[in-house]
């Protein structure tokens, strides 16, 4: 597995967003958390750009941790790699005895390594076992979801997580086929989707299997459920002045991040108060106007950057207990 192929998305912009919180020579070294270690591209850049910072990096994929461990070995004990899902951040920091951190980075979605390793079943462009688990030691595979979920539940998943307008057609075909022979591989599912869709639906938006594969991946890994817990938890872990940057790759993730940031940046006082008490003041300041997009140059260099959306926020007030 070549690590050179992995180009971190919107890398410089992420570093710029986090820099003011990580360059400060305070009494203790700043701590930055990479919640989605993957192949370690963002983590390596953070360690190189901020020589006094300590890095805590999380990933649920043991193979990613092994490969990144090799890549980050030159940084010695400045990097602590942890096998965990990113909504477990508060527990991880608690175990490490770190009350607050200065920076948090999320690079959501599926990692380059998972897409590139055919046998993981994430990519619809090549035949592979329908697995899609980011942590292959636990949970149901995509094949099990396809073969065992009731039709109504499959329709809901495809609509909600894949924003697939043709969910009913696809699920009807899946149910018909799985009764003959359970699904095991991606190529059969891709072919079924192609055959199930009307001509007009096949002409737009790239590979017609894309939305179904996204929906299955999100369901298998509980991505949105985990993210709903993870973003507020990460904000809570920030010290005052600390910054968070989140890269998302589809509208469902981006919407969730936007809602958490907007709620944190809002004044929550009842209307009509002449003076707003401290407890109602915003606790976050937004650092991006809406979601920032990758440049055309970056997309030309790294096609996986195309759907990326970046949002940043700064913690400006301590929570009143």
Q: What is the mean pLDDT of each run of 10 residues along the chain (321 residues)?
A: 61 96 86 94 96 95 91 96 95 97 90 52 72 84 96 96 93 96 93 87 73 92 92 96 95 94 90 83 94 94 90 89 49
pLDDT of residue 76: 95
Separation CA 93–CA 48 (nearest Å): 22
206 labeled part of a ligand binding site? no
| Domain ranges in the chain with CATH number 1.10.150.170 | 117-221
Separation CA 159–CA 164 (nearest Å): 5
CB 311 within 8 A of CB 261: yes
Separation CA 305–CA 7 (nearest Å): 9
CATH number of 117-221: 1.10.150.170
Beta-ladder partners of 101: 238
DSSP-assigned letters across all residues of 213-278: HHHHHHHHHTHHHHHHHHHHHHHHHEEEEEEEEEEESSHHHHHHHHHHHHHHTS--PPTT-SS--G
pTM of the model: 0.85
| Domain ranges in the chain with CATH number 3.40.50.150 | 11-113+223-315
DSSP-assigned letters across all residues of 130-155: S---SSTTSS--HHHHHHHS-HHHHH
290 labeled part of a ligand binding site? no
- According to DSSP, the β-strands at 309-315 and 238-248 are antiparallel
Per the CATH hierarchy, to which homologous superfamily does domain 11-113+223-315 belong?
Answer: Vaccinia Virus protein VP39 (3.40.50.150)
pLDDT of residue 270: 84
Separation CA 35–CA 246 (nearest Å): 10
Separation CA 227–CA 87 (nearest Å): 7
86 labeled part of a ligand binding site? yes
97 labeled part of a ligand binding site? no
CB 33 within 8 A of CB 89: yes
Say which DSSP state 197 is in. Answer: S
pLDDT of residue 141: 93
pLDDT of residue 61: 86
Residue 7: is it exposed, middle or buried by C-beta count within 10 angstroms (0-12/13-18/19+)?
Answer: middle
Which one, of 217, 250, 223, lies nearest residue 145 by Cα?
217
205 labeled part of a ligand binding site? no
| 111 φ, ψ (degrees, to nearest 5) | -80, 160
CB 242 within 8 A of CB 93: no
Say which DSSP state 317 is in. Answer: S
Going from the C-alpha of 137 to that of each of 74, 83, 116, 122, 132, the distances in angstroms are 28, 12, 19, 16, 12
40 labeled part of a ligand binding site? yes
Which one, of 134, 119, 43, lies nearest residue 83 by Cα?
134
Separation CA 163–CA 169 (nearest Å): 14
Cα-only R_g, the chain: 21
Residue located via tokens 């750009």: 49
pLDDT of residue 4: 41
End-to-end Cα distance, the chain: 48
| Three-class secondary structure of residue 80 per DSSP | strand
6 labeled part of a ligand binding site? no
């Amino acid at each position: 597995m070549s690590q050179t192929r992995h180009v971190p998305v919107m890398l410089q912009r992420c570093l710029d967003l986090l820099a003011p919180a990580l360059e400060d020579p305070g009494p203790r070294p700043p701590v930055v958390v990479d919640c989605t270690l993957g192949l370690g591209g963002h983590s390596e850049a953070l360690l190189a750009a901020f020589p006094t910072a300590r890095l805590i990096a999380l990933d649920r994929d043991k193979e990613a941790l092994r490969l990144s461990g090799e890549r980050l070995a030159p940084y010695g004990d400045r990097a602590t790699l942890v096998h965990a899902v990113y909504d477990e951040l508060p527990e991880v920091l608690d175990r490490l005895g770190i009350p607050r951190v200065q920076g948090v980075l999320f690079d959501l979605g599926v990692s380059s390594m998972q897409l590139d390793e055919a046998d993981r079943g994430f990519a619809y462009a090549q035949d592979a076992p329908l697995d899609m688990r980011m942590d292959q030691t636990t949970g149901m595979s995509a094949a099990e979801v396809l073969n065992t979920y009731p039709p109504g539940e499959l329709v809901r998943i495809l609509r909600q997580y894949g924003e697939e307008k043709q969910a009913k057609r696809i699920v009807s075909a899946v149910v018909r086929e799985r009764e003959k022979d359970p699904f095991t591989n991606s190529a059969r599912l891709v072919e079924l989707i192609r055959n199930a869709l009307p001509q007009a639906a096949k002409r737009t938006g790239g590979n017609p299997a894309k939305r179904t594969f996204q929906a299955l991946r999100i369901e298998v890994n509980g991505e949105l459920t985990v993210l709903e817990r993870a973003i507020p938890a990460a904000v809570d872990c920030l010290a005052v002045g600390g910054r968070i940057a989140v890269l998302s790759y589809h509208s469902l993730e981006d919407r969730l991040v936007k809602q958490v940031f907007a709620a944190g940046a809002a004044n929550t006082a009842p209307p009509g108060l002449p003076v707003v008490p401290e407890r109602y003041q915003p606790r976050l300041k937004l650092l991006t106007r809406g979601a920032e997009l990758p440049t055309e140059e970056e997309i030309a260099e790294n096609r996986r950057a195309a759907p990326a959306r970046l949002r940043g926020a700064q913690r400006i007030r301590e929570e009143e207990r």
